[in-house]
């Protein structure tokens, strides 16, 4: 009786060279490459429910630690976290694994990085899946100016709060585990503050983000899961992760020549109906016929928050596998 390929059943940790030094990844399965990019503040581990399912469906599923996270390199300079650098990291992973052309799927910041990887390197990325954060083409006003106007001067938007190096770190460092638990709860469908309660995306004058975190734990976040996340960030700190926010205006300059550019490759969007990323950016979702002309499907999962692939893994997996099966064959003849 033929034996299953061990690559389809085992998680393999690897380090591959990247522009900033090293990129840590975890892979499972054999077949066409599907690159998985996490968001803030997470790690490769946020794809733990997807790796075995994609492997079983016949794909080489690879979840990376994005630059600044986990075992990947963490340059000190803010400008090392600009979008062009992160796209270059993804290209380096695909080249190291011999997986061109690849499919790229991202969640949260990873969705934005995935979208720009497809936009800037269509020769490397043949399709793109976006979770929680819809694609918005480059262009428009300077990002930090937009975020500074939110809150009406009475409170500060979290992206603006993150801009000053060291400021958010001073809030987080004394209790990384507690901060992460609160941040995850604040954006989870079953624990987020009720409508009308203080919004955890904002900071009161003289306050912190933690002031508005719920004191409950979401169903998807057990002690084991929180241990893994907190141990990673207690070891690495969050400066590398926060530097992505601090590079926004650099992206605005770097991508000025791509203003309004659509992504023509086959695409998929999945979001949570309760997630601010989908409600605040509803106009971006409505614009998909123009910005994502190759869109296969767009789904909003009822009663789901921001951490979509961890809150609702079975539904997300079903949509991902169905979409991947629909894709035309790559240059290697594989789907």
Supply the CATH number for residue 310's domain: 3.40.50.1820
* Mean pLDDT score of the chain: 95
Q: Are 270 and 128 in contact (CB under 8 A)?
A: no
Residue with tokens 């976006």: 130
Q: Structural domain tally of the chain?
A: 2
- For residue 9, the model assigns a pLDDT of 65
3-state secondary structure at position 195: coil
Residues 179 and 35 in one domain: no
Q: What share of the chain is helix, strand, coil (3-state, %, to 5)?
A: 40, 15, 40
pLDDT tens for each residue of 84-122: 999 999 999 999 999 899 999 999 999 999 999 999 999
Residues 44 and 124 in one domain: yes
Is residue 332 in a domain? no
Q: Using a pLDDT cut of 90, give the percent of the chain over it.
A: 92
245, 269, 285 — which closes off a domain?
Answer: 245
Consecutive H or E run containing 292: none
Residue 49: active-site member: no
- For residue 151, the model assigns a pLDDT of 76
The DSSP bridge pattern shows strands 21-28 and 295-301 to be unpaired
In 3D space, the residue among 61, 62, 77 whose CA is nearest the CA of residue 20 turns out to be 77
Residues 103 and 151 in one domain: no
Is residue 200 in a domain? yes
| Domain, as residue range, for 161 | 143-245
Residues 137 and 24 in one domain: yes
Is residue 223 in a domain? yes
Residues 37 and 113 in one domain: yes
Q: What is the mean pLDDT of residues 240-266?
A: 97
Is residue 42 in a domain? yes
- For residue 152, the model assigns a pLDDT of 75
CB hemisphere CA count around 194 (13 angstroms): 0
Residue 254: active-site member: no
Cis peptide before 154 (omega within 30 of 0): no
**Which member of 65, 108, 251, 254 is catalytic?**
108
How does DSSP classify residue 152? B
Q: Where residue 4 falls among pLDDT bands split at 50, 70, 90?
A: very low
Q: Where residue 215 falls among pLDDT bands split at 50, 70, 90?
A: very high
- For residue 330, the model assigns a pLDDT of 61
Burial-class residue 92 by CB neighbours within 10 Å (0-12, 13-18, 19+): middle
Residues 87 and 43 in one domain: yes
Q: Where residue 1 falls among pLDDT bands split at 50, 70, 90?
A: very low
Residues 12 and 137 in one domain: yes
pLDDT tens for each residue of 313-330: 999 999 999 999 999 876
Residues 45 and 85 in one domain: yes
Is residue 1 in a domain? no
In 3D space, the residue among 7, 27, 60 whose CA is nearest the CA of residue 335 turns out to be 60
187, 211, 245 — which closes off a domain?
Answer: 245
Greatest alpha-carbon pair distance for the chain in Å reads 69
217, 245, 273 — which closes off a domain?
Answer: 245
DSSP 72-105: S---SSGGGGSHHHHHHHHHHHHHHHT--SEEEE
Q: What is the mean pLDDT of residues 193-212?
A: 94
pTM above 0.85, yes or no: yes
Q: What is the mean pLDDT of residues 254-258?
A: 97
Predicted confidence (pLDDT) at residue 209 exceeds the cutoff of 90: yes
Angstrom distance (rounded) from CA 205 to CA 207? 5
Is residue 335 in a domain? no
Is residue 206 in a domain? yes
Sign of CA dihedral 66, 58, 16, 91: negative
Residues 300 and 216 in one domain: no
Residue with tokens 């052309």: 101
Sign of CA dihedral 207, 209, 213, 217: negative
Residues 111 and 158 in one domain: no
Residues 86 and 133 in one domain: yes
Angstrom distance (rounded) from CA 14 to CA 249? 32
Is residue 250 in a domain? no
Predicted confidence (pLDDT) at residue 250 exceeds the cutoff of 80: yes
pLDDT tens for each residue of 7-40: 456 899 999 999 999 999 999 999 999 999 999 9
Residues 23 and 100 in one domain: yes
Q: Where residue 153 falls among pLDDT bands split at 50, 70, 90?
A: confident
Sign of CA dihedral 166, 63, 291, 300: negative
């Amino acid at each position: 009786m033929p034996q299953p390929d061990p690559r389809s059943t085992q998680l393999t940790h690897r380090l591959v060279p990247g522009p900033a030094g090293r990129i840590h990844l975890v892979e499972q399965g054999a077949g066409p490459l599907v690159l998985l990019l996490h968001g803030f503040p997470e790690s490769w581990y946020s794809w733990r429910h997807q790796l075995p399912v994609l492997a079983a469906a016949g794909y080489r599923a690879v979840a990376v630690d994005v630059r600044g996270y986990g075992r990947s390199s963490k340059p000190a300079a803010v400008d090392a976290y600009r979008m062009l650098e992160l796209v270059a990291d993804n290209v380096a992973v695909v080249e190291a694994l011999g997986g061109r052309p690849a499919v790229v799927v991202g969640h949260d910041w990873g969705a934005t990085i995935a979208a720009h990887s497809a936009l800037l390197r269509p020769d490397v990325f043949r399709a793109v899946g976006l979770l929680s954060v819809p694609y918005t083409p480059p262009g428009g006003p300077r990002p930090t100016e937009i975020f500074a106007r939110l809150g009406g001067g009475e409170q500060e938007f979290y992206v603006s709060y993150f801009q000053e190096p060291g400021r958010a770190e001073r809030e987080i460092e004394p209790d990384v585990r507690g901060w992460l638990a609160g941040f995850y709860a604040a954006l989870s469908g079953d624990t987020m503050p009720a409508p009308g309660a203080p919004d955890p995306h904002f900071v009161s004058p003289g306050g912190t983000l933690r002031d508005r975190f719920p004191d409950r734990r979401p169903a998807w976040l057990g002690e084991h899961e929180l241990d893994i996340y907190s141990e990673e960030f207690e070891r690495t700190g969050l400066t590398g992760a926060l530097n992505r926010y601090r590079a926004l205006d650099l992206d605005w300059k770097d991508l000025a020549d791509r203003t309004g550019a659509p992504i023509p490759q086959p695409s998929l969007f999945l979001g949570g109906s309760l997630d601010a990323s989908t409600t605040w950016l509803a106009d971006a979702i409505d614009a998909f016929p123009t910005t994502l002309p190759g869109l296969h499907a767009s789904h909003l999962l009822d009663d789901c928050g921001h951490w979509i692939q961890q809150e609702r893994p079975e539904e997300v997996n079903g949509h991902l596998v169905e979409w991947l099966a629909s894709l035309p064959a790559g240059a290697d003849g594989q789907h």
